[in-house]
Amino acid sequence: MISPYLNQPTIPLAVALPRMLEKIEAELVDRTVSTAEKWRLRKRAQLVRELLTPTGSPNAAVIDPAGAGADRAPPV
């Protein structure tokens, strides 16, 4: 048995994420959406925005090749 999901074309995240964000924001405007659902949609929109925001290496703060600062707490 072949899954129909596997037959769908793949879409790059750079294209899919903005589309997802537009859909989420449209659902947030809907007045029939419950408060709990709006909270969930806001959290989802926040996650998508974070994924769309370019940042440096996600491990840059963790890697300390020189070992400097090993005795100090990480920056907050």
pLDDT, tens digit only, all 76 positions of the chain: 677 777 778 888 889 999 999 999 999 998 888 999 999 999 999 999 998 888 765 554 444 445 444 455 555 5
pLDDT at residue 27, as a whole number: 93
Q: What is the domain range of residue 32? A: 10-52
Let me know: does 42 contact 24? Beta carbons within 8 Å: no
CA distances from 49 to 28, 46, 56, 64, 76 (A): 15, 5, 15, 28, 21
pLDDT at residue 57, as a whole number: 54
Asked if residue 58 belongs to a domain, the reply is no
pLDDT at residue 2, as a whole number: 73
Asked if residue 63 belongs to a domain, the reply is no
Determine if residue 69 is left, alpha or beta; phi over 0 gives left, psi from -120 to 50 gives alpha, anything else beta.
Answer: left
Q: Which two tokens stand for residue 1?
A: 């048995």
| Number of domains observed in the structure of the chain | 1
Let me know: does 50 contact 43? Beta carbons within 8 Å: no
Separation CA 28–CA 19 (nearest Å):
14
pLDDT at residue 75, as a whole number: 53
Asked if residue 47 belongs to a domain, the reply is yes
Asked if residue 68 belongs to a domain, the reply is no
pLDDT at residue 60, as a whole number: 46
